[in-house]
């Protein structure tokens, strides 16, 4: 680029997106004189999904603002809890976030998940069509303009991923109401209704069941139930209400 030079300071929470040399104090960037500030910020490595506001010379500006020579820019992170306008809050997760998807569903959060890699254009199109917040660790995907909304998943550990999403968006929690396999809603079911899915030991041991209204999968308090209860109780203790 050979155009106006501006000075940009990225908030500490956005440091992981920018090269080491641009972290901390304001750094000089040369622009082309025609690109928007949003484009400049994304070119520096920060997806706009992670930007709460842009300030130039002490006043807030839209991402469409075209920087001028000498501008002092502050890139601030999203405020929490983040407000997503429009449809009821629901999510779409890419192929790499299966465990997070199951845990969000366990908590009753409307969570669509693609178990195969359908590609960034298809994911972005589904986000827009269904008005879902796209959760991903793919920065390129989060830069796609057709997304309804998006958010970067900062950790690789499912426990931290879940806590971060709940802290950022504060979705309504309704544990034990969704199928962790397909996201469908659950209903109470009798043993006879789900008998064809049960092995002998399960039939003898359990009497309380639920069944997915969409895929028909049966649920009961099996061997891993205590682990699931712990996940639910931690989430409710910190984020319910």
pLDDT digits (tens, 9 = 90+) for 34-73: 999 999 999 999 999 999 999 999 999 999 999 999 999 9
Which pLDDT value is given to residue 49?
97
Average pLDDT over residues 112-123: 93
Question: Which pLDDT value is given to residue 17?
Answer: 94
Are residues 183 and 105 in contact, defined by beta-carbon separation less than 8 angstroms? Answer: yes
Confidence of residue 20 (pLDDT cuts 50, 70, 90): confident
CA 129 – CA 132 distance, rounded (Å): 8
Do 100 and 158 touch, CB atoms closer than 8 A?
Answer: yes
pTM > 0.85: yes
pLDDT of residue 21: 61
Range name among 123-132, 195-204, 211-220 with the lowest pLDDT average: 195-204
Coil, helix or strand at residue 36: coil
**Cross-strand partners of 74:** 9, 55
pLDDT of residue 1: 52
Task: pLDDT band for 24, please (50, 70, 90 cuts).
Answer: low
For 222, the token pair is: 């099996």
As a whole number, mean pLDDT of residues 158-180 equals: 97
**CB count, 10 Å around CB of 143?**
18
The pLDDT of residue 228: 97
Of 137 and 88, the one with more pLDDT: 137
- Residue range 162-168: mean pLDDT, rounded: 98
């Amino acid at each position: 680029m050979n155009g106006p030079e501006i000075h940009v300071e990225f908030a500490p929470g956005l440091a992981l997106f920018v090269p080491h040399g641009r972290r901390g104090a304001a750094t000089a960037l040369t622009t082309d004189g025609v690109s928007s500030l949003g484009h400049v910020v994304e070119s520096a490595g920060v997806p706009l999904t992670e930007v709460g506001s842009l300030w130039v010379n002490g006043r807030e500006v839209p991402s469409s603002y075209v920087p001028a020579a000498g501008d002092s820019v502050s890139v601030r992170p999203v405020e929490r809890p983040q407000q997503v306008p429009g449809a009821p809050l629901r999510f779409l997760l890419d192929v790499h976030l299966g465990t997070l998807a199951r845990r969000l569903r366990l908590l009753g959060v409307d969570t669509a998940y693609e178990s195969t890699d359908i590609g960034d254009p298809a994911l972005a199109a589904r986000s827009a069509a269904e008005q879902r917040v796209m959760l991903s660790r793919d920065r390129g995907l989060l830069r796609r303009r057709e997304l309804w909304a998006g958010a970067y998943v900062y950790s690789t550990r499912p426990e931290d991923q879940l806590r971060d999403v709940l802290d950022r968006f504060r979705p309504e929690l309704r544990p034990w109401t969704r199928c962790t396999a397909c996201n469908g809603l659950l209903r109470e079911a009798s043993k006879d209704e789900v008998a064809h899915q049960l092995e002998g030991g399960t039939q003898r041991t359990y009497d309380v069941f639920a069944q997915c209204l969409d895929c028909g999968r049966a649920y009961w308090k099996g061997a891993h139930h205590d682990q699931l209860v712990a996940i639910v109780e931690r989430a409710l203790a910190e984020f319910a209400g």
